[in-house]
Structure 1
Amino acid sequence: MATEKKAAAEEKKVYEEKKPYKEKIKELKKKYKLLGKLEEQAVADEQKIQKNVINNLRYIQRAYEIESQNDLADILDISPPQLSRILKGEQMPSLSPCLINIYRQFGFTIHDFIFNDVELIDWRRRVIKENLPVVNDMKYSGIYQFYYFDTSENRGREKYTHGDALMSGIMFIDEKKPEADKQDVMAVFNMSKERADSFYENTLKAGKVTATTCKDIFKNLSGAYYGELEFSVKHFFISLNFGGLKDRVQMIFHFCPDSNEREYIGGLGTMLSPSKSRISKPCFQYVALVKASLDVSEEEIAAHLLLRYPQFEVCNMAMDDLVNFTADLYRTDVEANDRLSKLPDVQKKTLVKNYVDKIVNETVENNMLRTVAVSGEDDEAFCRYIKRVNVNMHAEVK
């Protein structure tokens, strides 16, 4: 009984000590408009953090089959007595080297290790990894040329022809490092097709330069973007940025798990980026990626990048209304006070025309520009086009 009273007294003492701090946090939260509840913004319960730390360290030792605490201490670059104190709840792990090495060696972020159950995180990570496709590391690495449309003009003021609006760029996808899940990517945008063709053929020796040489070439380019390629079950994603948050590009392409090709030759995907104009705006469009420099016209490539109009039918109800309206205009058996039937033919034609415009515009608005997707058939058709062009190019060379 005495022990329980002592514990209750100590708990009350801790609460009273923290009360002024909580009140202060409440005032600061209101002053600076901090997000979240007071409990979330205040210092977290140290006992809960200690429990997480102990459980997570024990899980790491068990999951990675680390034979002894001494080995775990060596991996974390701390002394065995220090690790022992942490596991007993007598000491919190230091940021460096302990927590940093937990991230470096096991991949758990400092936040997850302190606040979450890393066993659950590891399980989720393992499930995702097991469902990911087996990727040939060499299949997607190499030098590519890509194509997209110029976005510097506002809508309605675009270039006169699709060929005039076509832009190109060069991309290098590095080989995947054994310890990494992603592949490094470098890219240069805003090149004319002619300049990109020349750069690909001459500077990059038609994609034959070594990875080291290619990296050196990109590093010497003033407008180079840097990023990563990573895979999901059905797609691969290329994320690029220039100057930190100054400019970012996200590309999404189909992953081809059923393809027997030794290397990825290219595909049709989507690209989201800020438009290039006086005032940058979010922009979405198709993008074509090719592991070659295609010796074809700008117009021919541009034809594959046009956002396709969906096929739709004008609804029957709207057409019935139009037919009935037109019939009423030209009926002869009408009452004398029916003003529509007495209108001149020119005005009747104008009314019908306006009615047709209304139906078409409403139907188009209801069926277009909601979503635009690259189907598997679109991607396969573009791959067949690349193969056909390459075969013709090689035949001409011979």
Structure 2
Amino acid sequence: MSTKMPMSTESVQEVASIIGSNLRKLIRENGITQKHLAEQLGVAAATMTDYCNGKRVPQATFLVELRKHYGVDLNTFMTSDISTLITSCTPVEESLNDSLQNTCRKYCGLYYTYYLDTSKFKGRDTLTPAMSLLFGILYIYEDPSIFTGPRYNCAAVLGFTGLEEADALIQSLKEYSSSKEILSRIEKDCSNRAYYGSFEISQEHVFLNMRHECTDRALAILHRVDNNKTDYSGGIATINSISKGRERMPVVQFFGISRHPITMSPEEIQHALLLNFPTITVEDEVEEMLRVLRMLYVNNDEVRLSFSPEQKKAVIRSTLERAVRKNLERNAFRYAKISEEDDDAWYHCIKSSAADPHMASARGSDDNPHTDAGPRTDDDPRADAGTQTEPSPAQ
């Protein structure tokens, strides 16, 4: 009967060192503390410190809990440096269907990002469009080696004041052939601006759930685009995060992404990112204004004569201000939405101004490539023979 040779002291120390390095990365990228991880996995804080410093190899029960909470491949975690993102996870299906995997792969790659500076106090922002714009890069990639079943993750580097900085970073990252190399470069040179997170897709939307150390979280939600093209070219998302500046506050804004740099002016880009609404219903306000005008100038002589011109002006002004305020409250301050039409408007902006001449064919020539959830008709401008509706995928 054969027996397994015991590991040498050097081998044990090497395994302990690798595990310690990977534990520190897991803690950093999940924005947690050693104490939190120790409590989560059921060990003492001092024991966790020894594990993280590579002083000893964790016990088997610890590793089992680690796999349960974070889905890691223990063999990889114990034998090689993990430069790929490790995030806390919930159980998923063993494998995604081929159709969904193909859809996810369309989103993989490097993107430019466009958003607005949120460091100023609300109501006191005096930045010009050019000064108000911030830029960044987004990287979506497939990571099949760490988790059970295929996973898709993302990383972002945000906070550039000029598109040139973002472009220089993207060009340097394109020199690498693997996600491990790209993530290592981001970690090495851009860790203070880096966000890491997961990429998930539902039947109608795409979710980018990212974190920046212990200071920020960012959830970006995009419309899912289904067509017969090989790559996703860009879209506009809502993003919820923490504002920059002297006082850090929760903030919601629009977040544009594009696979290619765009050449629109700062004013055009800012306009596309404003929380605007294409139509506002004002019938009730118009009726109220007409009622006041008839009362002051038409119907009732007693009322007309009892108000001086300045008083009539004050009444009209008050009525108009109230109507504008009520309509703004209903339409501009309750929520901000991105419709498929808004997403297409952003796409057509970047398509018409993309610096890359191949951009025009990246998403297709149809006016609206989104999958229509309802029945199609011949006069539906979104009907496209190349677009197919997929069944609801597993998250």
* TM-score interval, normalised by the smaller of the two chains: 0.5 to 0.7
Distance, in Å, in 1 between the alignment partners of 2:71 and 2:354 is: 45
Alignment of 1:257-276 (within 5 A): 258-276=226-244
Distance, in Å, in 1 between the alignment partners of 2:213 and 2:231 is: 31
* Residue 235 of structure 1 pairs with residue 205 of structure 2: yes
Distance, in Å, in 1 between the alignment partners of 2:301 and 2:263 is: 67
Q: Is the 8 A contact 2:107 2:140 kept in 1?
A: yes
Q: Which structure 1 residue ranges, 4+ long, deviate > 6 Å from structure 2?
A: 97-107, 127-132
Distance, in Å, in 2 between the alignment partners of 1:166 and 1:249 is: 18
Partner of 1:342: 306
Distance apart, 1:171 and its partner CA:
1.9
Higher helix share: 1
Partner of 2:195: 225
Partner of 1:359: 323
What is the aligned counterpart of 1:328 among 286, 292, 295? 295
Q: Is the 8 A contact 1:200 1:293 kept in 2?
A: no
Distance, in Å, in 1 between the alignment partners of 2:276 and 2:229 is: 28
Distance, in Å, in 2 between the alignment partners of 1:143 and 1:288 is: 13
Partner of 1:138: 105
Partner of 1:187: 156
Distance apart, 1:357 and its partner CA:
1.5
Partner of 1:254: 223
| SS at structure 1 position matched to 2:198 | strand
Alignment of 1:107-122 (within 5 A): none
Distance apart, 1:235 and its partner CA:
1.4
* Residue 210 of structure 1 pairs with residue 177 of structure 2: yes
Distance apart, 1:319 and its partner CA:
3.6
- Structure 1 pair 345–192 and aligned structure 2 pair: CA distance change class (3 A): same
- Structure 1 pair 321–377 and aligned structure 2 pair: CA distance change class (3 A): closer
| SS at structure 2 position matched to 1:366 | helix
Q: Is the 8 A contact 2:260 2:356 kept in 1?
A: no
Distance apart, 1:262 and its partner CA:
0.6
- Structure 1 pair 352–97 and aligned structure 2 pair: CA distance change class (3 A): closer
- Structure 1 pair 269–98 and aligned structure 2 pair: CA distance change class (3 A): closer
Structure 1 residue identity aligned to 2:199: L
* Residue 313 of structure 1 pairs with residue 285 of structure 2: no
What is the identity percentage for the equivalent residue pairs of Structure 1 and Structure 2? 26
Q: Is the 8 A contact 1:310 1:368 kept in 2?
A: no
Where does structure 2 lack aligned partners over 5 or more consecutive residues?
A: 1-59, 74-90, 360-395
Q: Is the 8 A contact 2:205 2:224 kept in 1?
A: yes
| SS at structure 2 position matched to 1:369 | coil
* Residue 156 of structure 1 pairs with residue 123 of structure 2: yes
Partner of 2:33: none
Which TM-score applies when normalising by structure 1? 0.60
* Cα RMSD for the two superposed structures: 3.4
Partner of 2:347: 383
Distance, in Å, in 2 between the alignment partners of 1:104 and 1:248 is: 18
Distance apart, 1:360 and its partner CA:
2.2
Q: Which has the higher contact order (CA 8 A, sep 6+)?
A: 2
